[in-house]
Structure 1
Amino acid sequence: MALSKGLRLLWKQEPAPSALLEARTRQDCLLLEAGTVAALTPEEKDAIKGQYEKLMDAYGCLGELQLKWGNTRLHFLVLVTGCTSVGKILDAEVYKITATDFCPLQEETKEEERITALKKILNSGMFYFSWPNAGSNFDLTVRAQKQGDNHYESGNSFFWNQLLHVPFKHYQVNCSDWLLKVICGVVDIRTVYASHKKAKACLISRISCEQAGVRFHIRGVNDDGHVSNFVETEQTIYLDDDVSSFVQIRGSVPLFWEQPGLQVGSHRLRLNRGLEANAPAFDR
């Protein structure tokens, strides 16, 4: 199912940079100005909307990115401008992100190198989000056994844009109304038939964001007990009202170690800490 661009970003430069974020399905809006986020009523929106010009439409918003630049912070609104459907799970459509845009919430800056690198990662085809129908609370970032567990979110290692939600939560904005939650990994959804019955088979691999990095450069465990290359792979079957979920996890050896070297095959293992120094992180 094709997803329409349901968000619109409006912008004004004077007297101070300011943005309005509208949703097609909502009467209210969000005002982003001077590093703050405020929810405006329909009446408040109508009173100031004429001062703004349309900047772009988007499929969804990932949140607000904050980058240090000298002694100040730069603020960017991260919008999804391209996506493709990979299938449907229960009452939620799952989409792969193909294009994003970083909209500066201050005067234009020359901070392009880091933004270009982040955009390249987000547009790589490894990030997914779900779009639930009304009344559905399906969350792609958690396994079937944890669906509906609101206490799990704070410790969710597969919720990649969790930090981008923080500025909105700080100002008591309901993030589920405005922001997407994304995973990094792979999603494959197929329809299978068992006699006269139709089932949905889903394979979802979620990469942890806690100790992310490329192979050979990020190895082992960190002081918080998170290991590199940690992946949760969930195989789920949906048949009528029944759900069967089988979860496998894998990750790097939970010790402080590395593989220095440039040539593949020449990397030798090297432990960075002794047994006693490894124990606290290993036990976590």
Structure 2
Amino acid sequence: MAAVWPYRDINVHSSPSHYAFSSPSSPSAPTLVVDRPSGDLRLHDGKLLGSKRVSSVAGILGIIKLRLDKYIIVITKAQPMGRIKGHMVYRVVSTEFLPLRERPLHDPDEDNYLNLLKGLLKTSPLYFSYSFDITNSFQRQAHADPSTPLWKRADDRFFWNRFIQSDLIDFRGGQSGGYGHRQSLGQQSDADPYILPVMFGMMEIKNTSVKGNPLTFILITRRSRLRAGTRYFSRGVDDNGNVSNFNETEQIVILNDNSSGGIGGFAGSGANQNGAATPGKEVQVLSYVQTRGSVPVYWAEINTLKYTPKLQIRGVDSAVLSAKKHFAEQIRLYGDNWLVNLVNQKGREKSVKDAYEQMVNKIVSSPEENVESDNMTSEKFHVVEPSSNKTRFDRIHYIYFDFHSETKGLRWDRATLLLNQLEEPVLKHGYFRGVDMPGETGQVEVRRHQGAVVRTNCMDCLDRTNVVQSMLGRFILSRMLIDLGILHEGENASDDAAFENLFRNVWADNADVVSRSYSGTGALKTDFTRTGNRTKAGALADLNNSITRYFLNNFGDGPRQDAFDLFLGTYLPSDSGIGSQLLFADRRPLFIQSIPYIFAASLFFVFVGSFTRRSPDATVWPLRVLMFVFLGVAAACANFIWAHGTLFVNWPKLNKLPWAIESVQEALLKVQHNPVVAPFVGTRHERGKSDARLGYLEEGKKRVE
């Protein structure tokens, strides 16, 4: 049975009663019709009358229901990124929202929802392919049924638009109609080509060579849609075993593939789509997968406007079941898990390190521990291994590496100490290796499996994690090239200066993409990743990124978290109380809202008074008194903001965070018991009675898939 691929070209026709989507390259295929304003889906054979063509799109991203209306999100522009074995991969450049109501109604919350979604899609690195499953690693692809439609093969974790494709997927499965009144229609397999899976992450495809041997070097990072969010508003593990900032990174080498060259046009059909080998030589694919993810315990960092947020560990015992779900899934997908923990063993991070180790000790049966120290740190390595294999969780192997202590003084070369510790298990469990089989099925003959994964984390799974993952990627790449006969035993890929420069920059780009999607800025320490040295210019760039992160994490990430929750379906907009709820309204007491404005106005007056020219005969002292008064007001405002920083953080407004609610309540109670300020924020109430706090107690509706 031939594979079912998404349509590459879709024409959109519009009329007051429907939108119609059809593929001009498949004129005999049914037209997908979305009725207006209900959003009901149907397939229609032949031409539809009474509609006019409005545009041609690259694909349907999905359909989303907001407060007043449903919107079809279409991909209006896609940029070719390169070929993988002849299959073109694209990046989403622009999208458009098609409202189902002919005359859209306006509502403040609806407008805010739309702005959040448009802002998210504009900045998100989204990739797709019409003929290649980029959501799955090559090892998982090798065991997939090539006749299955592309969307059914997609890895659910990395099928980023899975929620907004729900209407199309339900229709494909035979369900139609709005929420609550679905009717069975029978399987609609002709809808398969309209469902296009999209991946969020990073992808670079480089046609290069090592010591004169041409090859394709590819790096793909896939970000999980489960528990996706921003840096301080998404931490740890949830009840379903999903951890924050989970990313799978796959490093790929393809040998003897001449079909990967060039950017323009679509991939051809037949043999070209499966990769055209150099005559007499096999197309070989070698790939190595690593993962990263937040420490799988219940923990949070609470923004207070201080540079370092307040850390909260909410019990290890209560998170054991969630951690077991997480690691059971990881072991099922990847085999043995080598957990590399780079969190500091001193200071505020120590409690996270200790919680992680306690969790591993609770999961692994009869753990045996070994602590190694040196003259730089009392705990260079901390290894936890099972004494005997009794349960599936004994496939977990924990290694702690004191990254900061070992590499301080810009001694980044000492990170190779960790590589020495990992070398034996990495070589033992290997990497994936496959060879293309002849014919047009796209099947691969598997010659070697990767039997384990290295799961790396630091506090944010960003900067230290990037350094270690790129180091491990370089090590395994050299092993691949030795096994291919391109390098001799003892040689390294880094011996080729041109390729080493490309390798460093690709991994640094990966670091920036992963960091930007979570923290809002590029990664720190990328000067080491790009050049192999820690430089003063890099340190200055890190300072700039750190300052930017501070402002974004306190004042910009709330709306970004709301956008993630809306797009991924963890918050469902309600249509109750339309026009009256004003979900995004600021419900803090007016006095607290006014403090930043009073502060800014006072500073402005002092600034103007200091630099405005005055006539020689003007009386100076009244102005100076006013300046001192405003300086005092500015100082008082700054002190108030600093002392009650939680009240000035831009928190998410859709899915309220329990620790944020508690922190805001405590801060409001503190203000209400202040004899100077209390009269301006209303009368004192008992805990839980303040109207000012009620806005923070509205919980968003959660979608359970």
Q: 2:138 aligns with which of 130, 141, 144?
A: 144
CA distance in structure 1 between the aligned counterparts of 2:303 and 2:169, rounded to whole angstroms: 43
- Contact 2:168-2:195 within 8 A present in 1 as well: no
Name 1:268's counterpart in structure 2.
310
| TM-aligned CA distance change 1:155 to 1:59, over 3 Å | closer
Which one is further off, 81-90 or 204-213? Answer: 81-90
- Contact 2:66-2:113 within 8 A present in 1 as well: no
CA distance in structure 1 between the aligned counterparts of 2:320 and 2:124, rounded to whole angstroms: 37
| TM-aligned CA distance change 1:249 to 1:260, over 3 Å | same
Which one is further off, 224-233 or 57-66? Answer: 57-66
| TM-aligned CA distance change 1:153 to 1:54, over 3 Å | same
Deviation digits for residues 120-144 of structure 1, max 9, x if unmatched?
2112151111132xxxxx2011111
Q: What is the CA distance between 1:109 and its match in structure 2?
A: 2.9
| TM-aligned CA distance change 1:191 to 1:164, over 3 Å | same
Identify, as 1 or 2, the structure richer in helix: 2
Q: SS where residue 162 of structure 1 aligns?
A: coil
- Contact 2:135-2:154 within 8 A present in 1 as well: no
Indicate the RMSD between aligned Cα atoms, in angstroms.
2.2
Deviation digits for residues 155-208 of structure 1, max 9, x if unmatched?
621111112222122222445411321111111110022456432111011111
Q: 2:204 aligns with which of 178, 183, 188?
A: 188
CA distance in structure 1 between the aligned counterparts of 2:80 and 2:153, rounded to whole angstroms: 25
Name 1:227's counterpart in structure 2.
243
TM-score, normalising length from structure 2? Answer: 0.36
AA at the equivalent of 1:280: L
Q: Does 1:109 align with 2:105?
A: yes
Q: SS where residue 310 of structure 2 aligns?
A: coil
Map 1:126-145; keep pairs closer than 5 Å.
Answer: 126-132=125-131, 138-145=132-139
AA at the equivalent of 2:12: L
CA distance in structure 2 between the aligned counterparts of 1:26 and 1:54, rounded to whole angstroms: 17
| TM-aligned CA distance change 1:155 to 1:6, over 3 Å | closer
Q: SS where residue 279 of structure 1 aligns?
A: helix
- Contact 2:127-2:198 within 8 A present in 1 as well: yes
CA distance in structure 2 between the aligned counterparts of 1:83 and 1:262, rounded to whole angstroms: 41
AA at the equivalent of 1:100: T
Q: SS where residue 91 of structure 2 aligns?
A: strand
AA at the equivalent of 1:267: P
CA distance in structure 2 between the aligned counterparts of 1:109 and 1:91, rounded to whole angstroms: 46
Name 1:9's counterpart in structure 2.
12
- Contact 2:34-2:41 within 8 A present in 1 as well: yes
Name 1:53's counterpart in structure 2.
52
| TM-aligned CA distance change 1:191 to 1:155, over 3 Å | closer
Map 1:22-37; keep pairs closer than 5 Å.
Answer: 22-27=22-27, 28-33=30-35, 34-37=38-41
- Contact 2:83-2:89 within 8 A present in 1 as well: yes
Bigger Rg, structure 1 or 2: 2
Q: What is the CA distance between 1:5 and its match in structure 2?
A: 7.7
Identify, as 1 or 2, the structure richer in strand: 1
CA distance in structure 2 between the aligned counterparts of 1:214 and 1:143, rounded to whole angstroms: 25
CA distance in structure 1 between the aligned counterparts of 2:307 and 2:65, rounded to whole angstroms: 39
Map 1:47-126; keep pairs closer than 5 Å.
Answer: 49-69=48-68, 74-107=69-102, 108-110=104-106, 111-126=110-125
Moved over 6 A (4+): none
TM-score, normalising length from structure 1? Answer: 0.85
AA at the equivalent of 1:116: N
CA distance in structure 2 between the aligned counterparts of 1:128 and 1:170, rounded to whole angstroms: 23
AA at the equivalent of 1:276: D
CA distance in structure 1 between the aligned counterparts of 2:11 and 2:25, rounded to whole angstroms: 11
Deviation digits for residues 91-122 of structure 1, max 9, x if unmatched?
31111111101111233132332122112211
Q: SS where residue 281 of structure 1 aligns?
A: helix
Name 1:135's counterpart in structure 2.
none
Q: SS where residue 184 of structure 1 aligns?
A: strand
Name 1:204's counterpart in structure 2.
220
Aligned length: 263
Name 1:178's counterpart in structure 2.
194
| TM-aligned CA distance change 1:94 to 1:155, over 3 Å | closer
- Contact 2:162-2:197 within 8 A present in 1 as well: yes
Q: SS where residue 213 of structure 1 aligns?
A: coil
